[in-house]
Copies of this chain bind each other. A is one copy, B any other.
Amino acid sequence: MTTHPFDAALELQTVTDDRLRGRTHPAWKNVVGPFGGITAAILLRAIECQPDRIGDPLALTVNFAAPIQDGEFDVGVQRVLTSRTTQHWSSTLSQGVSTRCTATAVFATRRETWADSEAPMPTVPTPEDIPVTPPAPEFADWLTFYEMRLIEGAPPASPQDASPTSRTTMWIRDAGARGLDHAALATLCDMFYPRIFLRRGGFVPAGTVSMTCYFHATAAQLAQVGDEHVLASAGVHAYSGGYFDQQALLWSRHGHLLATSHQVVYFKA
């Protein structure tokens, strides 16, 4: 049986107690280096597979300092502190002596508490009522690993298609029916083409500088989602001085908020 390309990209060998080694996967190559969403998943997975890890991911911040070159990379993980219910981690992704990414993560043991959501899933057609959006052939291989059904905010083809808002909403799931886990969810948080394209009506240079994911679901809840469609919606608060912030919310198709994610993105326009 062939390894799913998501799991293949996340394969890490232990070098020492606090260092793992991976290799860039050609199918996840993006405009400059690997797709940031897969890098976020790798950094999360490096912590998840530590033997003394407790609980589920609660918060992950990844800073993209420099492009990752094709080939091997090392992930250094450091357990900062473990309390009764939370565990703090720092990590870096490096190649040779050069740090490419830094990350921090909080893991937590969740308890039954009072719960509520104030971010209801938008009213949208079911995934079965929306056609699959075929990935544009000029785009990266990794897009074919996902089945996307765009509800609003399709990539603009020309400046005439410039949108007055940065909103894209879509149903998305793994095209290979791989089940959902926190690493896959972190990748889904980054699944939106740069919002500046939508506002300007075409390609402009852009790249994520820093991304934070907050996970609202446990591993057991994500396992229940399985390979069902997830509703993902992203927008922007402000574009200013060469940077914009993107906010993404992801729900299960039954309306359970799975993750909220924020990123700041460099652009040139």
Which residue of the partner chain, among B113, B245, B268, contacts A113 with CB atoms under 8 Å? Answer: B268
Task: Check if A169 is an interface residue, CB within 8 A of chain B.
Answer: no
Interchain CB contact under 8 A, B242 and A110:
yes
Task: Check if A212 is an interface residue, CB within 8 A of chain B.
Answer: yes
Q: 3 closest Cβ contacts across the A-B interface?
A: A110-B241, A119-B237, A65-B81
Known: A113-B241, A116-B239. 20 other contacts (CB 8 A): A58-B264, A63-B106, A65-B83, A80-B92, A81-B98, A81-B99, A90-B90, A102-B104, A104-B210, A110-B243, A112-B241, A113-B242, A115-B239, A115-B240, A118-B235, A118-B237, A212-B262, A214-B245, A238-B257, A247-B260
Residue of B nearest to A166 (CB): B118
Task: Check if A41 is an interface residue, CB within 8 A of chain B.
Answer: no
Minimum Cβ distance to chain B for residue A59 (Å): 4
On chain A, the number of residues with a Cβ less than 8 Å from chain B's Cβ atoms is 62
Interface residues in chain A, defined as those with a beta carbon under 8 Å from any beta carbon in chain B: 58-59, 61, 63, 65-66, 80-81, 83, 85-86, 88, 90, 92, 98-99, 102-104, 106, 108, 110-119, 165-166, 199-200, 209-210, 212, 214, 216-218, 235-243, 245, 247, 249, 257, 260, 262, 264, 266-269
Interchain CB contact under 8 A, A237 and B264:
no
Minimum Cβ distance to chain B for residue A135 (Å): 27
Copies in the complex: 2
Main SS of chain A's interface residues? strand
Q: List 27 A-B contacts (CB under 8 A).
A: A58-B243, A59-B63, A59-B209, A59-B264, A65-B81, A66-B83, A86-B209, A88-B102, A104-B210, A108-B209, A108-B243, A110-B241, A110-B243, A111-B242, A112-B241, A113-B241, A113-B242, A116-B199, A116-B238, A117-B237, A117-B240, A118-B235, A118-B237, A118-B238, A119-B237, A214-B264, A240-B257
Residue of B nearest to A258 (CB): B238
Interchain CB contact under 8 A, B61 and A212:
yes
Interchain CB contact under 8 A, B209 and A237:
no
